[in-house]
Amino acid sequence: MSRTVIHGGLVITASDEIHADVLVEGGRVAALAAPGTDAAAGWSAERRIDATGKYVIPGGVDAHTHMEMPFGGTYAADTFETGTRAAAWGGTTTIVDFAIQSMGRSLREGLDAWFEKADGRCAVDYGFHMILSDVNESSLKEMDRLVAEGITSFKLFMAYPGVFYSDDGQILRAMQRASGNGGLIMMHAENGIAIDVLVEQALAEGRTDPRYHGDVRKVALEAEATHRAVQLARVAGAPLYVVHVSADEAVAEIAAARHKGLPVFGETCPQYLFLSTDNLAEPDFEGAKYVCSTPLRPREHQEALWRGLRNNELQVVSTDHCPFCFSGQKEMGRGDFSKIPNGMPGVEHRMDLLHQAVVEGHISRRRWIEIACAAPARMFGLYPRKGTIAPGTDADIVVYDPEAEQVLSAETHHMNVDYSAYEGKRITGRVETVLSRGVPVIEDGAYVGHAGHGAYVPRGLSQNL
């Protein structure tokens, strides 16, 4: 059985920071020992990684990606191959992507299509959530079967009428079903019916630039939908996970629900923490690079998100990675912001941006690991196999240099997209080595993994309840 020793580093998990040597054996963590005692303990190993002065952290778990997602007449530009490779570069060793049920089709057909796209192509491990676009008697029954197979979470949309949208009755039925089968409902909480009215009015009045995407998708309409989702989940007796929370008033709705003791959870994304409507207003259609939904908000909202992450009103930071090239894809919306495909690249830089948040004092090191690794793993039934470093866990391990400097740029990133949302941003900290189940994927600044190493991971029920 192949053995690796990572010695001299500071092992950081969501609960501890300890100087320890880590023994990896056959793809799993076998033991941790006090620094320097590894030889005495008889740890012979083929590979020894010197982590002196470095952090040894669990591989990141990005619970919200959309590889090759069809949207607005085009497809997200990262395939499972390019997207998981970029994830590995940034220290993310597990993604949970969204398989999509098409209108009029079964969940099974959607899921099979996503298995087909991912099979044999991934650099790191992957699981699936299921997007419910057509809630009916038959798809409700299928939910039970999927939960038994390890697809234990379901995304519903209160936005995008005519595409992914579910009405309140459909949402309630899906929540009731999840309450019975143990599944977790993930909600895109924006009032899409009202938004569509405002889109129509904006376009009719000649307000067509990307910044109006942010204008029409109002804070009140995110907060209202979040409130409604909470009340529907409460009536159904189901837990609720609100995805890509961007507005302070939506955080307040989640906090109020949690204060009542309801099992309501929230996720935000780096773009809401670091970017703002100032980006959406960039001239010459550049703002299109930042069109995603929920939209970027005025920067005053960022403090509520950071506070929410610190005090556990928000539990998870995922990326909602859904990249569209500026050239040829974002450009589809010149003269009509509603035709700009919604989504931004991000899977490569989540761990780094959140480390930058540690450097800037927004969160502690352990909270960094909690929100980026342990909490998403627990939330989606992957813990402790993923999300921590302890005897028996998968050896998904990142050696992270907290002192290295880097500048984010489309010139150097590995995502299959022609721009960076963080072009020129200076970051302190960088991934040095990445192991996926004990196998090197990134080593000495080079990609040494291969498509097909990444395995499908069936998930258990959410462990946060």
Q: Residue 343 or residue 376: which is nearer to ligand DUC going by CB?
A: 343
Query: Could you tell me the smallest distance in angstroms from the CB atom of residue 376 to Zn ion?
Result: 14
CB atoms within 10 A of CB 445: 10
Query: Could you tell me the smallest distance in angstroms from the CB atom of residue 70 to ligand DUC?
Result: 10
State the binding partner of 111 from ligand DUC, Zn ion, none, CB within 5 to 8 A by kind.
none
Count of residues touching Zn ion (by CB under 5 A): 2
Query: Could you tell me the smallest distance in angstroms from the CB atom of residue 119 to Zn ion?
Result: 22
Q: Which of 7, 85, 129, 188 binds Zn ion (CB under 5 A)?
A: 188
Query: Could you tell me the smallest distance in angstroms from the CB atom of residue 43 to ligand DUC?
Result: 46
Query: Could you tell me the smallest distance in angstroms from the CB atom of residue 64 to Zn ion?
Result: 6
Q: What backbone phi and psi angles, to 5 degrees, belong to 188?
A: -85, 105
Q: Residue 38 or residue 320: which is nearer to ligand DUC going by CB?
A: 320
Q: Residue 25 or residue 190: which is nearer to Zn ion going by CB?
A: 190
Q: Using CB atoms within 10 A of its CB, is residue 293 exposed (0-12), middle (13-18) or buried (19+)? A: buried
Q: Residue 124 or residue 292: which is nearer to ligand DUC going by CB?
A: 292
As given in the structure block, the two tokens for residue 259 are 């204060």
Binding site for ligand DUC (CB under 6 A): 66, 71, 188, 292-293, 320, 322, 342-343
Query: Could you tell me the smallest distance in angstroms from the CB atom of residue 421 to ligand DUC?
Result: 12
Q: Residue 107 or residue 243: which is nearer to Zn ion going by CB?
A: 243
SS3 string, the chain, reads: CCEEEEECCEEECCCCEEECEEEEECCEEEEEECCCCCCCCCCCCCEEEECCCCEEEECEEEEEECCCCEECCEECCCCHHHHHHHHHHCCEEEEEEEEECCCCCCHHHHHHHHHHHHCCCCCCEEEEEEECCCCCHHHHHHHHHHHHHCCCEEEEECCCCCCCECCHHHHHHHHHHHHHHCCEEEEECCCHHHHHHHHHHHHHCCCCCCHHHHHHCCHHHHHHHHHHHHHHHHHHCCCEEECCCCCHHHHHHHHHHHHCCCCEEEEECHHHHHCCHHHHCCCCCHHHHHCCCCCCCCHHHHHHHHHHHHCCCCCEECCCECCCCCCCCHHHHCCCHHHCCCCECCCCCHHHHHHHHHHCCCCCHHHHHHHHHHHHHHHCCCCCCCCCCCCCCECCEEEEEEEEEEECCCCCCCCCCCCCCCCCCEEEEEEEEEEECCEEEEECCEECCCCCCCCECCCCCCCCC
User: Do residues 184 and 462 touch, judged by C-beta distance below 8 A?
Assistant: yes
Query: Could you tell me the smallest distance in angstroms from the CB atom of residue 58 to ligand DUC?
Result: 27
Task: Give the contact letters, 294-333, x = binds to Zn ion (CB under 5 A), - = no.
Answer: --------------------------x-------------
State the binding partner of 314 from ligand DUC, Zn ion, none, CB within 5 to 8 A by kind.
none
* 125 sits near Zn ion (criterion: CB under 5 A): no
Q: Residue 32 or residue 174: which is nearer to Zn ion going by CB?
A: 174
Task: Give the contact letters, 240-259, x = binds to Zn ion (CB under 5 A), - = no.
Answer: --------------------
Q: Residue 71 or residue 306: which is nearer to ligand DUC going by CB?
A: 71
Residue sitting closest to ligand DUC (CB): 292
Q: Residue 267 or residue 320: which is nearer to ligand DUC going by CB?
A: 320
What is the separation, in whole angstroms, between the first and last Cα of the chain? Answer: 37
Query: Could you tell me the smallest distance in angstroms from the CB atom of residue 325 to ligand DUC?
Result: 14
State the binding partner of 343 from ligand DUC, Zn ion, none, CB within 5 to 8 A by kind.
ligand DUC
State the binding partner of 192 from Zn ion, ligand DUC, none, CB within 5 to 8 A by kind.
none
Q: Residue 78 or residue 320: which is nearer to Zn ion going by CB?
A: 320
Q: Residue 7 or residue 217: which is nearer to ligand DUC going by CB?
A: 217
- Of 21-29, 183-191, 193-201, 324-332, the segment contacting Zn ion by CB under 5 A is 183-191
State the binding partner of 268 from ligand DUC, Zn ion, none, CB within 5 to 8 A by kind.
none
The tally of CA atoms less than 13 A away on the side-chain side of residue 358 is: 19
- Of 16-24, 182-190, 222-230, 407-415, the segment contacting Zn ion by CB under 5 A is 182-190
* 222 sits near Zn ion (criterion: CB under 5 A): no
Residues that bind Zn ion (CB under 5 A): 188, 320
